[in-house]
Amino acid sequence: MVSLRLRRLSLMSLGVLPCFMLNGCIVHDRTVVHEPVEGYYDSDHHRWYHEHAWVACDERDPHCPP
């Protein structure tokens, strides 16, 4: 009687064990995208960041250097 229970327990654990092992192998890559600071000037592209969007610099724009 004990050996039958032990056999059933071991067979059940062999069926469930791969599920736990596979859960440990799955890794999600979480990349965090940082938003630029309000008023940030991007000199490479000649633009500045305003209200969650990039704004192209104009000749009369006070936020951009000449």
From 51, 49, 53, 44, select the one nearest 63 (Cα to Cα). 49
- Tens of pLDDT, residue by residue over 21-52, are 666 665 666 777 788 999 899 989 999 999 99
Q: pTM to 2 decimals?
A: 0.47
The two structure tokens encoding residue 16: 């469930």
pLDDT digits (tens, 9 = 90+) for 12-22: 766 666 666 66
What Cα–Cα distance (Å) separates residue 48 from each residue in 33, 38, 59, 60? 18, 8, 13, 13
Give the start-to-end residue ranges of the domains of the chain.
Answer: 2-56
